[in-house]
């Protein structure tokens, strides 16, 4: 996805096309983007109702110093729809030296806007996204950069754990159930996520860490169910490691006590 190049006013220095590492860029002068970090290096997780805001920190350098960002955008990297549903809501710049500044653009995603993004299925926008930005220097140099960073925007998920019975004797068979669901960006509801490998984990009472006991695949409507033999009091939970399009999630632990 490329922007239309704007011409330099008054017949000033000609535009130049430059190939930068991991990005296509064009501009004038020696201003350059040297680093871009999205959301502190973490995935961006989007559900069905809450507006999500996240930072895009762009480090730029010019011998005259950096004036700021004149444009910033982010969208699904392989989109055939064009545009995207993330909004650029503002930027602040912090000077690191006489030549270098970190300009942080705030991006916002409001789930209510997502269903209109695609004529087919807005959920297809989950996955790898890219960042484009235009940087301007104090001396008028500018740098229009495409694909200066890549990161993942994922559909939020939910996971529950239910144990029956919760008070047993050693050697008793325990039933552990649950449900894995994820955000649907078309109807803004959560739906069961079928066919996924989910780990059942146990933490013995008095210890700090959970360990995986077995792996179970989600069935119809994302439902989970298995039986285990009780050997000690403690807490059970489900753990889903996530996919390239769906966030990882850990359920709350459900405790079992011994009679």
- Mean residue pLDDT of the chain comes to 90
Instruction: Kindly state whether residues 177 and 97 are assigned to the same domain.
Output: no
**5 domain-assigned:** no
Instruction: Kindly state whether residues 67 and 149 are assigned to the same domain.
Output: yes
What is the number of structural domains in the chain? Answer: 2
What CATH number corresponds to the domain at position 132?
A: 2.60.40
Confidence at 208, pLDDT banded by 50, 70, 90: very high
| Predicted TM-score of the model (pTM) | 0.87
**81 domain-assigned:** yes
What CATH number corresponds to the domain at position 221?
A: 2.60.40.730
Rounded to an integer, the average pLDDT of 145-149 is 94
User: Which helix or strand (DSSP H or E) is residue 16 part of?
Assistant: strand 16-20
**1 domain-assigned:** no
The string of pLDDT tens digits covering residues 2-41 is 232 222 222 233 333 333 334 566 889 999 999 999 999 9
Instruction: Kindly state whether residues 123 and 175 are assigned to the same domain.
Output: no
Instruction: Kindly state whether residues 61 and 96 are assigned to the same domain.
Output: yes
The string of pLDDT tens digits covering residues 75-103 is 999 987 667 899 999 999 999 999 999 99
Instruction: Kindly state whether residues 41 and 135 are assigned to the same domain.
Output: yes
Domain that includes residue 209, residue range: 157-258
Q: Which of 155, 172, 204 is the last residue of a domain?
A: 155
pLDDT value of position 6: 24
Distance of alpha carbon 139 from alpha carbon 67, whole angstroms? 9
- Retrieve residue 96's tokens: 């690191």
- Retrieve residue 108's tokens: 């916002």
**2 domain-assigned:** no
Short-list 240, 243, 237, 236, CA closest to 217:
240
Instruction: Kindly state whether residues 99 and 35 are assigned to the same domain.
Output: yes
């Amino acid at each position: 996805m490329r922007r239309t190049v704007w011409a330099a006013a008054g017949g000033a220095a000609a535009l130049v096309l430059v190939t930068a590492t991991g990005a296509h860029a064009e501009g004038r002068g020696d201003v350059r983007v040297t680093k871009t970090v999205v959301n502190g290096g973490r995935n961006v997780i989007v559900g069905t109702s809450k507006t999500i805001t996240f930072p895009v920190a762009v480090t730029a350098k010019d011998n005259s110093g950096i004036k700021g960002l004149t444009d910033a955008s982010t969208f699904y990297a392989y989109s055939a729809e064009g545009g995207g549903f993330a909004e650029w809501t503002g930027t602040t710049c912090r000077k690191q030296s006489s030549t270098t500044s970190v300009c942080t653009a705030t991006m916002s995603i409001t789930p209510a806007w997502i269903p209109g993004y695609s004529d087919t299925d807005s959920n297809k926008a989950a996955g790898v996204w890219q960042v484009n930005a235009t940087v301007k220097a104090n001396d008028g140099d500018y740098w229009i950069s495409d694909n200066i960073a890549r990161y993942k925007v994922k559909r939020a998920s939910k996971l529950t754990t239910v144990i029956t019975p919760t008070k047993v004797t050693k050697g008793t068979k325990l039933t552990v159930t649950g449900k894995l669901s994820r955000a649907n960006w078309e109807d803004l509801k959560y739906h069961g996520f079928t066919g996924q490998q989910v780990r059942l984990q146990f933490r013995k009472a008095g210890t700090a860490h959970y360990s995986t006991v077995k792996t179970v695949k989600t069935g119809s409507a994302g439902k989970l169910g298995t039986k285990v033999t009780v050997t000690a009091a403690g807490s059970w939970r489900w753990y889903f490691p996530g996919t390239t399009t769906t966030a990882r999630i850990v359920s709350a632990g459900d405790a079992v006590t011994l009679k």
